[in-house]
């Protein structure tokens, strides 16, 4: 008889995530109870925000529970339903277990048209990462023609669209990424004006001075830490720092201090603002319409890394936290 493979949180990491923090379990395939559906996962999105959820932090989403399956944004197919809103065969998107099958109330799941775009795109450029880029860059960063925009993690799931949207608004766009191939792709395919390899550069201030000679007006922050500190020191008057993430800080066993001279927030009238895209779901239609249109018109490029097999999700996630993926990281579950 077929069994349901699922990956549970075996222990909470301190510092780097290790294989010992995960445990693969076999269980019976669930059967829908009244009001429930059972969804077979097709694709699972792996995202940096999952790292803070593995710790017991006071955070915006509750932490993952020990000995329960981790969850993540997924696309799947309804295989059993005792919920009148869903029928077997429906393709749905939403939070599902790191598992082949998830029993679910249906709350927060949304039906999608599988023919509208390749399924992984619903988890990337047209999904939460894409909308994160759109909300943060367009609505919060508001780049203007001629301004300089910096995007850390320039080719990541979010950064790749954030940079292109700023370019379409007429800004000079500079990024950083973790290897030369990513930087090449950012400049040649995404249209970044410049991109530096942050693993090779030692003096972030010097490279930013060279690539952003007029200072920085908008920082789309995904990384935090030393790169962000160097950006902070180079922000122009009335600059906006949009804090989307801080992947370099997620695995800090002891917290690191913020940038020097916080008083410059007054001197330069900076706005530093954090956001979480799930607060803004109501405005997603505008994004799907604008970016969907750009995608169809061939004006937006995107790239995913698809890892085959649920059993490879832990290793892929550990690689993600070290920047080993290229573009949006997705697991093909079954």
Site for a second copy contains 249 (CB under 8 A)? yes
Using DSSP's 3-state secondary structure scheme, residue 138 falls into helix
Site for a second copy contains 60 (CB under 8 A)? yes
**CA–CA distance, 244 with 265 (Å, rounded to integer):** 19
Q: Judging by DSSP bridges, how do beta strands 91-97 and 71-81 pair with one another? A: antiparallel
DSSP letter assigned to residue 85: T
Shortest distance, position 83 Cβ to a second copy, whole Å: 32
Restricting to residues 210-239, which ones interact with a second copy according to CB under 8 A?
Answer: 224, 228, 237
Which of 20, 262, 281, 306 is close enough to bind a second copy by CB under 8 A? 262
Please, which residue, 138 or 190, has the CB nearer to a second copy?
A: 138
**CA–CA distance, 219 with 221 (Å, rounded to integer):** 6
CB atoms within 10 A of CB 259: 15
The region of 18-26, 91-99, 258-266, 305-313 touching a second copy under the rule CB under 8 A is: 258-266
Shortest distance, position 39 Cβ to a second copy, whole Å: 29
Per-residue binder mask for a second copy (CB under 8 A), 158-187, x = binder: ------------------------------
Site for a second copy contains 268 (CB under 8 A)? yes
**CA–CA distance, 152 with 231 (Å, rounded to integer):** 10
Helix (H), strand (E) at residue 242: strand 235-243
Of residues 257, 208, 258, the one with CA closest to residue 236: 208
Which of 16, 56, 273, 311 is close enough to bind a second copy by CB under 8 A? 273
Please, which residue, 257 or 285, has the CB nearer to a second copy?
A: 257
Shortest distance, position 92 Cβ to a second copy, whole Å: 28
Site for a second copy contains 253 (CB under 8 A)? no
Shortest distance, position 271 Cβ to a second copy, whole Å: 5
The region of 56-64, 162-170, 180-188, 281-289 touching a second copy under the rule CB under 8 A is: 56-64
Please, which residue, 180 or 252, has the CB nearer to a second copy?
A: 252
Site for a second copy contains 266 (CB under 8 A)? yes
Site for a second copy contains 282 (CB under 8 A)? no
Contact by Cβ (8 Å): 42, 331: no
Please, which residue, 57 or 95, has the CB nearer to a second copy?
A: 57
296 phi and psi angles, rounded to 5 deg: -65, -35
Site for a second copy contains 139 (CB under 8 A)? no
CB atoms within 10 A of CB 127: 23
The region of 1-9, 105-113, 273-281, 287-295 touching a second copy under the rule CB under 8 A is: 273-281
Using DSSP's 3-state secondary structure scheme, residue 93 falls into strand
Which of 79, 95, 117, 276 is close enough to bind a second copy by CB under 8 A? 276
Distances (CA, A) of 80 to 2, 26, 27, 40, 41: 15, 20, 17, 9, 13
Contact by Cβ (8 Å): 310, 27: no
Q: Count the alpha carbons within 13 Å of 81 in the hemisphere toward its beta carbon.
A: 14
The contact set with a second copy (CB under 8 A) reads: 52, 57-60, 224, 228, 237, 243-246, 249-250, 255-276, 279
């Amino acid at each position: 008889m077929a069994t349901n493979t699922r990956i549970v949180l075996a222990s909470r990491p301190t510092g780097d995530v290790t294989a010992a923090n995960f445990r693969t379990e076999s269980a019976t395939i669930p059967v829908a109870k009244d009001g429930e559906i059972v969804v077979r996962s097709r694709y699972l999105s792996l995202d940096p925000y999952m790292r803070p959820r593995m710790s017991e932090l006071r955070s915006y989403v509750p932490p993952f529970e020990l000995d329960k399956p981790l969850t993540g944004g997924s696309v799947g197919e309804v295989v059993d339903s005792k919920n009148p809103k869903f029928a077997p065969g429906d393709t749905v998107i939403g939070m599902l277990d790191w598992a082949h099958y998830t029993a679910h109330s249906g709350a927060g799941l949304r039906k999608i048209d599988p023919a509208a775009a390749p399924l992984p795109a619903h988890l990337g450029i047209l999904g939460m990462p894409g909308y994160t880029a759109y909300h943060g860059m367009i609505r919060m960063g508001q780049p203007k023609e001629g301004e300089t925009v910096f995007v850390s993690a320039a080719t990541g799931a979010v950064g790749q669209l954030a940079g292109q949207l700023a370019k379409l608004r007429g800004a000079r766009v500079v990024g950083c990424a973790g290897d030369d191939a990513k930087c090449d792709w950012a400049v040649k395919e995404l249209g970044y004006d410049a991109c530096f390899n942050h693993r090779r550069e030692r003096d972030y201030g010097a490279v930013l001075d060279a690539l952003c000679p007029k200072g920085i007006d908008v920082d789309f922050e995904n990384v935090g830490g030393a790169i962000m500190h160097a950006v902070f020191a180079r922000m122009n008057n009335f600059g906006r720092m949009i804090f989307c993430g801080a992947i370099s800080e997620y695995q800090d066993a002891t917290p690191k201090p913020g940038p020097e001279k916080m008083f410059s927030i007054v001197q330069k009238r900076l706005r530093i603002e954090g956001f979480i895209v799930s607060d803004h779901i109501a405005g997603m239609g505008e994004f799907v319409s604008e970016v969907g249109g750009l995608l169809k018109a061939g004006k937006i490029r995107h790239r995913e890394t698809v890892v085959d097999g649920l059993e490879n999700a832990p290793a892929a996630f550990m690689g993600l936290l070290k920047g080993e993926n290229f573009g949006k990281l997705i697991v093909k579950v079954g």
